[in-house]
DNA sequence: GCAATTATGATAGTAATACTATTATATTTA
DNA sequence: TAAATATAATAGTATTACTATCATAATTGC
């Protein structure tokens, strides 16, 4: 899928200085994505990131108060961008079943093609989301972060897909539970496949996880498998 | 449910010195459970724990190399104990559907009664499992920890319930995926209900999460709801 | 009941982390 | 061209996550 060049806007609550407003800021985002992929979020320090971009750590602190804030920025970017993808994939699709199916595909698979335009490598970013994003909200200061809207973009995605679920079955009681279970589940199953295979099943093809969740959705919403 | 007094044995790979072998060791376990519940795992330090039990941090280090190791010990204890609960709840139950239903109940709900015998407060421990256990394996050294058997007890539980799933439907391709999705999903939904309610649904009664996952299982395994 | 072993307490010390602060030097803008 | 702003370079601090040492207390073996 080739995207139009969309400008992702991130709420000003989520940074000290907008990284999208300067070369250094964009470099911080771009290289942090690469570095987190290489060494993992836990091992990331602003000192190491500074070394990569040839800037002192104090310069990075001007953009983000700490690395959790940076991770929240990255996840917000991803979910805002993913909402665009969802809209793009579902406009003009009449059948809600088909729209839902397309959405599940998008949320259960890491990105495979980069649009090559922006300074954000979407393939690597989606890898980070799958393996590290839960560290953004599984933290002692969730409530405080939530209050300033740190997880708004994620919530919007869950809400949007839940709406399709309700279109299909207006009496279904747990649409948000269903969608967040699928998103988080897909992330975890991929992690398990890589690190704790006993907690998942033999992954025949790369769509196994997607198929599993599609089947759950079809069953629980009584959707006849047509395609 | 009243348990017989069962001795939980934890593999010697998971500690430096067996905490079950001394008063100080048992005190470390007992008070760490309380302290993690109070301040959260992130905020726990061996220094603070030492203050609570009136021992220097260096004494705690003789039992556990670091706090991650302590958390792994606690999760292993919980899952080993939970496997006993599963066995106890399912022996002499003929119908695999009924056995599965009982298992899902156990894994999707925090513990509500403490057996009051051991030094482990099972209610508080289960709270920790629900809110913090993913931090035991979502870490850069998963593979190394996995190699020494740190997650064996958890895997055993997933395996045991997966076996029941296969009894009901031998052709079902994703039993482990289903069970680990349910366990992790139940933990997360409870966390969402407390901190990020937009990601879940109104919880009518305390069994809502359990009901949701029971329904998924029933649908996907084609189980007729009888009770 | 005493020696030998082992566990614990008390204290100190170190490297790394996660910042904050200061000042000089660029770069941009008015 | 002056003023404002951004970045670089450097230093410093509190906390964390340990490690080390030695004295004392408790336990065990004979």
Res B227: pLDDT: 46
**Torsion sign (Cα): B142, B143, B149, B154:** positive
What would you report as the CA-atom Rg of chain B, rounded to the nearest whole angstrom?
A: 18
- C-alpha to C-alpha distance for A181 and B207, rounded to whole angstroms: 17
Rounded Cα–Cα distance for residues A154 and A144 (Å): 16
Chain A hits for B188, CB-CB cut-off 8 Å, are 180-181, 184
Average pLDDT over residues A96-101: 98
Name the percent of chain A lying above pLDDT 70. 96
Q: Phi and psi for B55 in degrees, rounded to 5?
A: -135, 150
Residue A118: pLDDT band (50, 70, 90) is confident
Shortest CA to C1' contact from B67: nucleotide: D17
Predicted confidence (pLDDT) at residue B149 exceeds the cutoff of 60: yes
Instruction: List pLDDT tens digits, range A6-43.
Output: 789 999 999 999 999 999 999 999 999 999 999 999 99
The reply to whether A15 touches chain B by the CB within 8 Å rule is no
For chain B, the domains span 73-220
Q: Which DSSP string corresponds to A31-82? A: HHHHHHHHH-TTT--HHHHHHHHTS-HHHHHTT-SSHHHHHHHHHHHHHHHH
Tallying the residues shown for chain B, one arrives at 227
What value does the mean pLDDT take over residues A81-102?
97
Interface of A with B in 119-178 (CB under 8 A): 134-135, 137-140, 142-143, 146, 151, 154-155, 158-159, 173-178
Q: What is the pLDDT of residue B3?
A: 53
pLDDT digits (tens, 9 = 90+) for A51-80: 999 999 999 999 999 999 999 999 999 999
Percent of chain B with pLDDT over 90: 90
Task: Report the pLDDT value the prediction gives residue B168, as an integer from 0 to 100.
Answer: 98
pLDDT of A227 over the 50 cut: no
The structure tokens listed for B148 are 């020494």
What is the pLDDT of chain B when averaged over all its residues? 94
Name the CA dihedral angle for B195, A78, A66, A159, rounded to a multiple of 10 degrees.
Answer: -20
CATH topology of domain A16-65: Arc Repressor Mutant, subunit A (1.10.10)
Which of B188, B190, B212 to mutate: most A Cβ within 10 Å?
B188
Cβ atoms of B33 and B74 within 8 Å: the answer is yes
**How many CB atoms neighbour CB A58 within 10 A?**
9
To the nearest whole angstrom, how far is the Cα of B117 from the nearest Cα of chain A? Answer: 31
pLDDT grade, residue A114 (50/70/90)?
Answer: confident
């Amino acid at each position: 899928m080739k995207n139009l060049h969309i400008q992702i806007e991130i709420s000003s609550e989520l940074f000290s200085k907008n990284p999208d407003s300067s070369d250094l800021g964009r470099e911080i985002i771009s290289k942090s994505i690469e570095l987190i992929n290489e060494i993992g979020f836990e091992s990331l320090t602003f000192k190491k990131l500074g070394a990569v971009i040839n800037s002192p750590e104090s310069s990075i602190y001007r953009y983000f108060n700490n690395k959790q804030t940076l991770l929240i920025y990255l996840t917000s970017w991803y979910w805002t961008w993913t909402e665009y993808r969802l809209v793009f994939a579902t406009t003009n699709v009449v059948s809600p079943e088909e729209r839902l199916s397309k959405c599940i595909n998008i949320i259960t698979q890491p990105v495979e093609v980069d649009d090559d335009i922006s300074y954000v490598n979407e393939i690597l970013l989606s890898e980070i989301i799958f393996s590290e994003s839960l560290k953004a909200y599984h933290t002692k200061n969730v409530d405080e972060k939530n209050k300033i809207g740190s997880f708004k973009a994620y919530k919007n995605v869950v809400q949007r897909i839940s709406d399709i679920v309700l279109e299909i079955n207006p009496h279904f009681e747990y649409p948000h539970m269903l969608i967040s279970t699928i998103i988080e589940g897909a992330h975890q199953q991929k992690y398990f496949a890589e690190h704790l295979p006993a907690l998942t099943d033999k992954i025949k093809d790369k769509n196994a996880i997607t198929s599993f969740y599609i089947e759950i959705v079809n069953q629980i919403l009584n959707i006849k498998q047509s395609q």
